[in-house]
């Protein structure tokens, strides 16, 4: 089975712009979670989607949003980018909400200048 895929892998944006990141889960997996990884804060949970609905959200401002499509693919959007949004954005998928194991994609490295 193919793993979790994320596009693009690298992105450079300017402050004030917005960005959309994409994640395709492992085939058959219906739950997708997003995480932000920075050297200072480590890995932090952004949100989880299942069946096109956001189940849970972490402590991030409203500029961070997401959605999930009927084929379980998910997108994450960050508006009005700030320098502090520079990070590795990882998505993880699991089969369903009762599953324990979460499998991560390669991440999107976002740099905000």
Partner 1 sequence: EDKVVQSPLSLVVHEGDTVTLNCSYEVTNFRSLLWYKQEKKAPTFLFMLTSSGIEKKSGRLSSILDKKELFSILNITATQTGDSAVYLCAVELGNTGKLIFGQGTTLQVKP
For the CB of residue 68, give the shortest distance to partner 1 in the complex, in Å: 12
Residues 10-69 that bind partner 1 (CB under 8 A): 31, 33, 35, 42-45, 48, 50, 55-56, 58
Per CB under 8 A, 98 contacts partner 1? yes
Nearer to partner 1, 24 or 31 (CB): 31
43: left (phi over 0), alpha (psi -120 to 50) or beta: beta
Nearer to partner 1, 12 or 43 (CB): 43
């Amino acid at each position: 089975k193919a793993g979790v895929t994320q596009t693009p892998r690298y992105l450079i944006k300017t402050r004030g712009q917005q960005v959309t990141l994409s994640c395709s889960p492992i085939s058959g997996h219906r739950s997708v979670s997003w995480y932000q990884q920075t050297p200072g804060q480590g890995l932090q949970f952004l949100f989880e989607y299942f069946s096109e609905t956001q189940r849970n959200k972490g402590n991030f401002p409203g500029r961070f949003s997401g959605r999930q499509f009927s084929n379980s693919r998910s997108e994450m959007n960050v508006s009005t980018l700030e320098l502090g949004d520079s990070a590795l954005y990882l998505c993880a998928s699991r089969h369903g909400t009762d599953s324990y194991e979460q499998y991560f994609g390669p991440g999107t490295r976002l740099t905000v200048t």
